[in-house]
Structure 1
């Protein structure tokens, strides 16, 4: 059993600021009181202990208080990505078999028709019904469920337990250290593991979260240069914008700012060199939804000495390379530890998340002679666009649903802003315009998953087993 993080933190440091947003702030005691009120209001509307509930909304305090109320009720929270299309959201809602979707009013239009939902405004207006709030949570209790695209084209609902989140947070703090006045700037979505893990760290560490509804370049540059924040999680494209902003304003990172933690793909060498000149400590990380955020991190001291590495496994985590017997031998990256998901839900509920205790990531990497991990290829077919994962199979499935498309192949090409963007190669049954294909994709895919270019080809490259060889698709561009 582990303590209820919200109650325990409010008991330990009730008057310490736990959250700021725009011009408002809340202490941990206030956060507790509001979350308990929301718990009672949800109970008054028929939301019971341990139900599976989906939540959807922008990164605002109102979303945090609703999520904390669900945690008090020990509900399993399905974290819906507000960037998805109605079709994608419908799949997740149906696959997870949630009993209710709790949605911020401004996002209600994102839901598919006939979705069973409660608006935040209705929750705030409802009568309260006192219910028991446990002071302890079982370690194996599922706290969150986040969907990650799968190589089959069907997203998988990944379970993250109390122990998963807590182990991840403890491993992280053993690596980066802790001060009572640390402030984490959160400009990543709360429905992502990167965003939610910041909230978990705040409750466990007793640190303030400065929340942005969305990334604000000028605000981040100001906060980092003035030292009003000490930590920030980013993807490479956001790091690039911060570096640009600091350079344009001829500013440097405040000595009080401790570390920038980029994830979601490799950081360009140029970024690391520029950050070093600006006094901005950058620690590249490696992790995924199945590992409840970071599983390895490169220290800032090694950033330039070990360019391209994602560092060493965090304290409680183990990483090995499948079948590797010596340094620099490439193979699949396997991960083991208390931060690894116990499994999936929905159509993948019967699939084990591990083999003999090890999570098979599908990523290819190697260790050097000093034990530093290098990721050579993040899931060979995976496209990482602005930190978002795009699986070609998912996009191909949508394209082949168009009556004019006989076959489709998707791969990523380099992009100076987003790192990578998807492009599509299609074999047609009859003529169709690019505009028609884009409009079709918009109905079923998030914007970042829509191919930025379409190439009409006579045939797709396939091997003897008729399997699509995506790595050869780029050759068709010439």
Structure 2
């Protein structure tokens, strides 16, 4: 058992008057104010019967109250289950029941969704409004130190293969994730990290952990807006921001002013990234550090160093200290450039899923495909489950998507496999068009024919209004064909 002082107590001790959290609307909390509010809410939750080890489900949007609540839970030694606000009542009911939540806390915006979710579930648990939790003045007997081996959060995977599972994150997982990131990127006195990912997603939540571990201010946005993010970078001196690919695409499309010297870069995760987008960002002097990670690794586990950003364009770098990774195919270590499954280990990797047996292997099998170059830099190719096998050939949708995004008039692109009587599967392309350029199916085929092998060519092209995405703006490939069934077809062919 390794204990450290409570990280918010430590920041209160070091820099009580420093800004901890800012919002895009001009609100802010110092570390002293964040500590006081969190401790008062903790005492309020305690008066409601919340105790150490209890599971508290949490359904709320990105705002200051969210930050206060998660720290309040830590002061009680309870566990917070971060729920996705975009799920249906049935989906939320499953997660509330599966996680053995004793209480559901919802903010006013989602209180009705919380009520519906409980009504759909098997267990009748109390629901309280986040805003109505009593703020107690007496805050004795709260947690003063954190046991790094104890669970702090649970976040559900997207459930691409079966039911979603709750990933258990300990305090140590979050601690080592934050420390490893700082060792890779460095930490500067004027750093300020922008949060525009959902806080219930590990990519957004991990920045709140960096906030109290580094003592670094963060700017919290309710939701992503390319215009607002560009404003924060240019006018509010934000130095770092975490994004997924579609966010960077929209940021680059909207960006007009030169990037100031105070901006250190964008951490880009969420899967393979088109090289055309990375080149566009590089030409605009927007530093991009591609990362690789997942819920099970408490956010990033591999990130390209700033010094390698141009030299290794398209790479997700090397495993962060103290993590390791390897590429396996048929239980054998892959040679350089040989594609296999990415496997990782390190103290930021979760020990397992709630109500499931813990990971027994030394390395965690990610389900992602990638390769290492001759210098050991990681390149992420695709998900194992997304790979298309056509006539015995392996086809990676991300490669085709990268080619499609080079075509003028293609705003967004997605590829998936569809059944074929002769080849088993063939690629199908789903395109969101830029309406200033009426790109046609013939344009798509003509361009791809010169760029891709014959078996990789999309056999069908669908123009749709939008790519299906989850709350973190990551593509949900399994929902692509449903877009056609819902008649979500673009208005012109």
TM-score bracket, normalised by the shorter chain, equals 0.7 to 0.9
Match of 2:18 in 1: 16
Match of 1:373 in 2: 378
With 13-22 and 146-155 compared, the bigger mean Cα shift is at: 146-155
- In the TM superposition, what are the counterparts of 1:377-456 in structure 2 within 5 Å? 377-381=382-386, 413-416=429-432, 450-451=479-480, 453=482
Match of 1:273 in 2: 279
Whole-Å separation in 2 of the counterparts to 1:197 and 1:413: 34
Contact preservation (8 Å) 2:59, 2:106:
yes
SS for the counterpart of 1:188 is coil
- In the TM superposition, what are the counterparts of 1:47-446 in structure 2 within 5 Å? 47-111=50-114, 112-114=117-119, 116-124=126-134, 130-226=139-235, 228-246=237-255, 249=256, 251-322=257-328, 323-324=332-333, 326-346=335-355, 349-350=356-357, 352-355=358-361, 357-381=362-386, 413-416=429-432
Deviation per residue, 1:252-308 (Å, 9 max, x gap): 211100010011112222221221122211000000000000010113443343233
Displacement of 1:378 in angstroms is: 2.0
Match of 2:41 in 1: 38
Deviation per residue, 1:394-435 (Å, 9 max, x gap): xxxxxxxxxxxxxxx9998554589xxxxxxxxxxxxxxxxx
Whole-Å separation in 2 of the counterparts to 1:44 and 1:242: 45
Whole-Å separation in 2 of the counterparts to 1:412 and 1:100: 45
Displacement of 1:451 in angstroms is: 4.5
Whole-Å separation in 1 of the counterparts to 2:300 and 2:260: 25
TM-align CA RMSD: 2.7
Deviation per residue, 1:358-384 (Å, 9 max, x gap): 101121221110110112222333899
Whole-Å separation in 2 of the counterparts to 1:43 and 1:411: 55
Q: Provide closer, same or farther for how the CA distance between residues 127 and 162 of structure 1 changes in structure 2, counting only shifts above 3 A.
A: closer
Displacement of 1:29 in angstroms is: 0.7
Contact preservation (8 Å) 2:334, 2:340:
no
**TM-score (norm. length: structure 2):** 0.76
Contact preservation (8 Å) 2:93, 2:118:
no
Whole-Å separation in 2 of the counterparts to 1:327 and 1:410: 28
Displacement of 1:18 in angstroms is: 0.6
**TM-score (norm. length: structure 1):** 0.78
Q: What are the ranges of 5 or more consecutive residues in structure 1 without an aligned counterpart?
A: 393-408, 419-445, 457-478
Displacement of 1:128 in angstroms is: 5.8
Displacement of 1:228 in angstroms is: 1.6
Contact preservation (8 Å) 1:227, 1:257:
no
Q: What are the ranges of 5 or more consecutive residues in structure 2 without an aligned counterpart?
A: 120-124, 388-396, 402-413, 417-424, 435-473, 486-493
Q: Provide closer, same or farther for how the CA distance between residues 450 and 90 of structure 1 changes in structure 2, counting only shifts above 3 A.
A: farther
Count of residues paired in the alignment = 400
SS for the counterpart of 2:316 is strand
Whole-Å separation in 2 of the counterparts to 1:96 and 1:108: 19
